[in-house]
Amino acid sequence: MTSPVSLGTWPTPLEAAPRLAARLGLADLWFKRDDLGGLGGGGNKIRKLRYTCAEALAAGASMVITSGAPQSNHARLTAAAAGRLGLACVLVLAGPPVRDRRGNLLLDELAGAEIVWSGDRPLAEVVAVEAERRSAYVIPFGGTSPTSLAGYMDCGRELRAQVPDIDGVEVVVAVGSGGMMAGLVRELGAERVVGVDTGALPDARAAVAGLLVGQVEPAALRIDGSQVGAGYGTLTDAVRAALRTTAREEGVFLDPTYTGRAMAALLAGSFPHGDRVVFLHSGGLPGLFGHPELSA
C-alpha cells in the first residue's frame, strides 16, 4: 500500500460528555472529535483522503474528480486536499445548478474546485464521462474504497490508545458510504461498533459488508435503520431535537445528515448498548449552514 499523505492533525481529541452521559444513563460517554482533523473545516473524510490522494499522486495524476450531494462534506474536503497537494479538482454534484452558494458549496469554490452539475443524469455516469475527458483520477463517492478503509483502522488504533478498557466500550458511528464503519469494524470488531444508517445508499448493511468480504459476516454487523426518515438529506424532528440537545448539553454542534441521525438514535435508545460509549463525531459543521430549514 502507498504511504498516506499528510493532510490532518492526529490523533484527534477524545472528549468526555458528562452531561449527555447522565441524560442517557451512561457511565461514560466520549466524543471522538474527527471534526477537528485540521484540513478544510475538518471531518472524517480527511482520514480516507490521506490514502486515496496518495494513490492519485502515485499514479501521476494532476487532477482528481469526485461526486456527492450539493452540501457534500466529502466534496469540500476533496477540494481542500487537492489544493494542499497542488492538484486540480472537479466536483460532480447531484441535481440542477444551485444559485445560492452557502455552506459547503461556498467552501468548494473558495478552494478552487470546478463544479459540474449532474442534472437528471446519474452521478456515476457524469463522473465517468468527465474523468475520461479530462484524464482525471477518480476518488469514489464518499471517498470509500478498499484502500481508504485504512484511514478508519488508524482511528480504531487511536481509540485503543485513548479509551480505558476499550473492550468494554461501544463506538457509535453514522453510516453513509460505509467506509468509516468498515474500517472501525476491521480494527475493533463487529460487536463493538454500532452503525446508524443515514439513507445515503439503498442498503447500508450490504455496503459495509461488501467492504469486509471474507472478514465479517453481514449478519454480525450492528446497523440501526430507525433514523432514515423520508430519506437521505431530509431533516426529521428527531434529528432537529438531537442537534439542539447536543449543542445545549455539551456545546458540540452536529450536522443534520450524518452525526445528527447517529445522535438521534443514541438518544432514542433504539439499539442495545452498554454503559460506556464513544460517539464518533465525523464533522459536517460547514454543511450545517447549507440547511436554512433548521431555523424554521
CA-atom Rg of the chain in angstroms: 18
Q: Which long-range contacts (CB under 8 A, 24 or more apart) does 216-220 make?
A: 216/185, 216/186, 216/190, 220/190, 220/191
Sheet of 276-281, strands arranged across? 14-16, 28-33, 276-281, 170-175, 193-197, 222-224
Strands 63-68 and 14-16: unpaired
Decide: 268 and 238 in contact? Cβ < 8 Å: yes
Distances (CA, A) of 54 to 26, 64, 159, 254: 40, 11, 24, 29
Q: Say which residue the cell 464518499 belongs to.
A: 142
User: Rounded to whole angstroms, how far apart are CA atoms 7 and 27?
Assistant: 34
Choice among 67, 72, 118, 145 that is catalytic: 72
Instruction: Name the nearest CA neighbour of 254 among 267, 239, 268.
Output: 239
Instruction: Give CA 171 to chain center in angstroms.
Output: 14
Cell numbers for 106, please give them.
Answer: 461556498
226 is catalytic: no
Catalytic residues: 72
